[in-house]
A and B are shown apart, each in its own frame.
Chain A
Amino acid sequence: DQQVKQNSPSLSVQEGRISILNCDYTNSMFDYFLWYKKYPAEGPTFLISISSIKDKNEDGRFTVFLNKSAKHLSLHIVPSQPGDSAVYFCAATRWGNTPLVFGKGTRLSVIA
């Protein structure tokens, strides 16, 4: 039973446009959500996170939106750059010391 779902295996976006990556979760106990970026031959790198007490968190070109009632979050990248091409993982957990539960990832390709 997948508790964190990323239903789009891949996404292709033109440079300068917005990239929107989606993530759904089923476990209502999750209260902290993270996005990780992964390049080939590297480990996942933390990108941005959001607590369930918020519905939006911004960091430069990256914004994460959380809709608790829909159990849905999304990552917006504006403007998209070729260097953003990577696999993006959504992860969920309970704040404190519980394991991260990951989605399967979405491969983003930003085309120049």
Chain B
Amino acid sequence: DAGVTQSPTHLIKTRGQQVTLRCSPKSGHDTVSWYQQALGQGPQFIFQYYEEEERQRGNFPDRFSGHQFPNYSSELNVNALLLGDSALYLCASYDRVGLNTEAFFGQGTRLTVV
């Protein structure tokens, strides 16, 4: 059973550019959350998707947007990249119906903005 998979694993972008990160949830999971982990910090919640809609959002600007597809996979888009957006971006999935609070994480995408 494949767990949560994210692509790409590493990415280098220039300030002002746009980036799209992708996530496939664990089999059987229908809810995807995205987290940003800056260096030396714990993961911070960006937003959560369920039934193709953003359900909850953390304290992140509108430059951060997302999407969920009918197969439950998800994308995170960041526009107008800033140096401070450099971080590890983690995707987590869980089974909302089962109210399973145990989120399963992917290995992350390391984004470097130069």
Q: A residues within 8 Å of B by Cβ? A: 4, 6, 32, 34, 36, 41-46, 49, 89, 91, 93, 95-105
Cross-chain contact of A104 among B4, B41, B92, B105 (Cβ < 8 A): B41
Q: B residues within 8 Å of A by Cβ? A: 4, 6, 31, 33, 35, 40-45, 48, 55-56, 58, 90, 92, 96, 99, 101-108
The residue of chain A having its C-beta at the shortest distance from the C-beta of B50 within the complex is: A97
Q: Are B45 and A95 in contact (CB under 8 A)?
A: no
The residue of chain B having its C-beta at the shortest distance from the C-beta of A39 within the complex is: B107
Q: Are A89 and B101 in contact (CB under 8 A)?
A: no
Q: Are B102 and A103 in contact (CB under 8 A)?
A: no
Knowing A43-B90, A102-B44, say if A96 contacts B101 (CB, 8 Å): yes
Complex Cα gap A61–B87 (Å): 32
Q: Are B99 and A96 in contact (CB under 8 A)?
A: yes
Q: Are B42 and A98 in contact (CB under 8 A)?
A: no
Q: Are B45 and A99 in contact (CB under 8 A)?
A: yes
Q: How far is the CB of A57 from chain B (nearest CB, A)?
A: 13
Knowing A4-B42, A44-B90, A104-B40, say if A99 contacts B102 (CB, 8 Å): no
In the assembled complex, which residues on chain A have CB atoms less than 8 Å from the CB atom of B92?
A: 100
In the assembled complex, which residues on chain A have CB atoms less than 8 Å from the CB atom of B44?
A: 102
Knowing A43-B106, A43-B107, A44-B90, say if A93 contacts B42 (CB, 8 Å): no
Q: How far is the CB of B51 from chain A (nearest CB, A)?
A: 12
The residue of chain A having its C-beta at the shortest distance from the C-beta of B44 within the complex is: A102
Cross-chain contact of B4 among A4, A43, A93 (Cβ < 8 A): A43
Cross-chain contact of A43 among B31, B42, B58, B105 (Cβ < 8 A): B105
Q: List 13 A-B contacts (CB under 8 A).
A: A4-B42, A34-B102, A43-B6, A43-B105, A43-B106, A44-B105, A49-B101, A97-B99, A98-B56, A99-B48, A99-B58, A102-B44, A105-B42
